[in-house]
Amino acid sequence: MSGFIDVELKVRDYELDQYGVVNNAVYASYCQHGRHELLESIGINCDAVARSGDALALSELSLKFLAPLRSGDKFVVKVRISGSSAARLYFDHFIYKLPNQEPILEAKATAVWLDKNYRPIRIPADMKSKFVIVSVLAFNLAWGWARRKEQQMDFREREGITGFEAFFLAL
């Protein structure tokens, strides 16, 4: 998954509901934690944005629950910026249980940049440039990986390499 950052966490007892699984509302907090870590990793500090008088507020959050987490489970939140508009950022989130990478949750979020009066405004150019660069790098990494796989397949076809031989070449 290109462009994603990983945040590893562990379920705490107070996050559980009466059925012994993580309460549905807690998953929104996990996603928020992942978004904040992603933004910090590209040089956008949410506290600094707030101190400037602006705000980056969540306007939409869609959660698709696939499996539960229980007390003590270790998991990873994978988050990326999937797109942007003049005033909005779009995020993809995935949560996987560790160590087997069992899918737990898929989520999409939209955040909007707000001014001091909580009205949508254009994302400041210095901030937007930070995640545009990350998006371009992620695209280039994904394109490079796909191109490399294509070249490997071309080589195998030219050399008549199939099945068993291809397995050992991939190692």
Which DSSP string do the residues of 118-163 spell out, in sequence order? Answer: S-B-PPPHHHHHHHHHHHHHHHHHHHHHHHHHHHHHHHHHHHT--H
Partners of 78 in the β-ladder: 6, 94
- For residues 39 and 73, what is the distance between their CA atoms, to the nearest angstrom? 25
Token pair for 151: 């070249």
- Radius of gyration, CA atoms only, the chain: 20
Cα 83 to its chain centre, rounded Å, is 12
Give the tokens for residue 108: 């999409």
Among this protein's residues, is 154 annotated catalytic? no
Tell me how far apart the alpha carbons of residues 46 and 24 are, in angstroms, rounded to a whole number.
24
Choose, from 13, 17, 92, 154, the residue flagged as catalytic: 17
Peptide bond into 124 cis (omega under 30): no
Query: CA-CA distance, 97 to 77, in Å (whole number)?
Result: 9
Which residues are marked as active site?
Answer: 17
